[in-house]
Structure 1
Amino acid sequence: MATASLLLAVISLLGAFDIAYFHWYRCRLADRAESRFEGWLHVARGFIYALQLALVPNVQLHGAFYAGFVALFVADIGVAMADVAVEPTSRRSQGGLPGGEYLMHIVLSVLVGAYLHAIALDSLAWRHLPAAVVYAPAGVPGWLRGLLGLMGAGAALVAMVEGLALVERRLPRPVPIHVRVRLRTTVERLWEVTQDHRLHPSWDHRFSRIFMLGEVIQTGTAMRYEKDLLGLTIRGGGRYKLHRPCQQSTFEFWSEDPRSLIRSGVGLWLYRPAADGAVEFSTSYTYEVRWGALGRWIDRAVFRPLFQRETERSFRRLAERYFPEGASGVAGARGRKPARLIDGGCLVS
């Protein structure tokens, strides 16, 4: 299997370039609804190649097991034919396959033909042997078997990531984070405390430091923020989109730091006097993440629930530290939303 294994290594390297450059970078297939079926075909082919990369340099399937070996390559050919059939529809809005990808597919087709021929020459005799699965790496250099093993793990990982991306794109968008608290104070006092950027990190531990880039906070004022996390300092910026004293602050925020999961977002603070003399302080915010499908899954599973909890804890800390005379508790989980302002707002539940 030395020749077949070497051809498989070349095919896998070219296939990895095809996926990374054309599927992900040039055509962004995972983001296109019309390319979803093609994406699932690529997921299937990724797992098929992961099996081939594990079996071809290491294992012989004799007798009845040989049918399973043949079925693996029949499945590969079937997926490849289906891929060719759906590509005209999948790529129509992009003007068809890029010229470089078309050339890449021709080269890969020739190499796959040579690979299947080498596989047939080396394996046909197995069907006449007693049924057995035999570990037989003889003839394939150790370095090549190691390389193919790494490629197989990579192919399975890429297929899993592509599958998760396709599933994630069908899920509803994550809901914004909502939190509110009712405090025994005046609107003016609450505004004074919460709008002081020097006090802000003392009760809102989502931030370690906030720096205002202007002497007066008003619509258009910019800020910088820092968050210390696990020995790192994550930096970002923000801007007040609408600032109405004692009523509302609408702001946008972002981070150009590649270590930050959050790419950009928008948030809203509302201050509403209540009939019983208390004040309701509420926030709603949401954001977009980086790191592609992996980032979106991390956000859904870990980050957004953590932010919901930490925002609730921050509001509780605000009440206990600065308004100990009484609060009616923090609400926000399970869809208990603060009131939404249409004027100047941009948050949608």
Structure 2
Amino acid sequence: MGLYVEALIRADADDLWDRTQRPAQHRRWDLRFTDITYLPCAPGEPQRFRYATRVLPFLTVAGVGVAAGERHRPDGTRTSALRFSSGHPLSLIEEGRGYWRYVPTDDGVRFLTGYDYRPRWGRWGRPADRLVLRPLMGWATAWSFDRLRLWCERGIPPERSLRYALGESAARLLAVVAIAKTVPAAGPFAAALAVLLPPSPVTPAARRCLRRPPAGRAGTAPPALLATLPAAAAAATGTATATATATTVPEPS
């Protein structure tokens, strides 16, 4: 998988599953999505869904997907897999696939993801993806995972942690501007310091997450469940027959 993010979250596995698998909870902490809505599906079939991301105040890019989860595995881990696609002409992501793993440890749950996608726009899309979108997606995923960790471990609602992040960023920017106006020569040093200083313990930070799988660690490869899912666009319109035998992701209560 092209992108990898891992966070250790000291929380109950059932609570973590609920906050990541139910759309009403998921969209609260994941910076990559503005809305996630489940679509009707027959019992035993993978869960179909629609997603949307507000790129600008006046522009929302939407797509469709299909997902399935294994909540109870013999080794004690949990897994969910998904395939997704977008037909929106302004979406740089044409289609992709990915997975989440929940690995219990003595210190908490290792929550990790691996995913990749095919960019749109041909030869123009590839450099735009490599230079802009892919780094941004990796950062947004890691930042969101730490936001989820703060919610699970410290009870800080995602909406509040976003306010903390915006407030801290504004404070750092104002400090840099004030120093640069007072002592112009110190401006570059102040800017570098504002970037390098560790964030507050209550502010989400992508730097707290692993961005590459540790060497030799098991459980980071795509699960077999991923290969059983039909193409996202076909599944979302009901034109493909699902072959997955895993349980579907639970409907929100």
Q: Same fold (TM over 0.5)?
A: yes
Residue 317 of structure 1 is matched in structure 2 by: 147
Report which structure shows greater RCO (CA 8 Å, sep ≥6): 2
2:60 pairs with 228, 233, 254, which one?
Answer: 233
Q: Quick one: distance in 2 between partners of 1:323 and 1:218?
A: 33
Residue 273 of structure 1 is matched in structure 2 by: 104
Q: Quick one: distance in 2 between partners of 1:186 and 1:323?
A: 9
Cα deviations by residue, 1:208-265 (Å, 9 ceiling, x for unpaired): 011001379965210001111112011101001x421251111000000011000000
**Residues 1:182 and 2:13 aligned together:** no
Higher strand share: 2
1:298 maps to a residue whose letter is: A
Q: CA deviation at 1:341?
A: 4.6
Structure 2 segments unaligned to the other structure (5+ residues): 73-77, 156-200, 202-206, 228-253
2:59 maps to a residue whose letter is: L
Cα deviations by residue, 1:256-301 (Å, 9 ceiling, x for unpaired): 0011000000010001111x14111110000001100110100001
2:131 pairs with 287, 296, 301, which one?
Answer: 301
Structure 1 residues 256-295: aligned runs within 5 Å: 256-274=87-105, 276-295=106-125
TM-score by length of 2: 0.61
Cα deviations by residue, 1:119-161 (Å, 9 ceiling, x for unpaired): xxxxxxxxxxxxxxxxxxxxxxxxxxxxxxxxxxxxxxxxxxx
Q: CA deviation at 1:196?
A: 1.3
Does the 8 Å CA contact 1:179/1:330 hold for their aligned counterparts? Answer: no
Residue 89 of structure 1 is matched in structure 2 by: none
Residue 180 of structure 2 is matched in structure 1 by: none
Residue 199 of structure 1 is matched in structure 2 by: 25
RMSD: 2.6
Secondary structure, in 3 states, of the residue corresponding to 2:154?
Answer: coil
Residue 69 of structure 2 is matched in structure 1 by: 243
**Measured at CA, do residues 216 and 282 of structure 1 come closer, stay the same or move farther in structure 2, by a change above 3 Å?**
farther
2:153 maps to a residue whose letter is: F
Aligned length: 169
1:344 maps to a residue whose letter is: L
**Measured at CA, do residues 277 and 209 of structure 1 come closer, stay the same or move farther in structure 2, by a change above 3 Å?**
same
Structure 1 segments unaligned to the other structure (5+ residues): 1-174
Structure 1 residues 36-55: aligned runs within 5 Å: none
**Measured at CA, do residues 252 and 341 of structure 1 come closer, stay the same or move farther in structure 2, by a change above 3 Å?**
closer
Does the 8 Å CA contact 2:5/2:212 hold for their aligned counterparts? Answer: no
Higher helix share: 1
Secondary structure, in 3 states, of the residue corresponding to 2:46?
Answer: coil
1:235 maps to a residue whose letter is: A
Residue 332 of structure 1 is matched in structure 2 by: 210
**Measured at CA, do residues 253 and 204 of structure 1 come closer, stay the same or move farther in structure 2, by a change above 3 Å?**
same
Q: CA deviation at 1:184?
A: 1.1
1:292 maps to a residue whose letter is: G
1:340 maps to a residue whose letter is: A
Q: Which has the larger radius of gyration?
A: 1
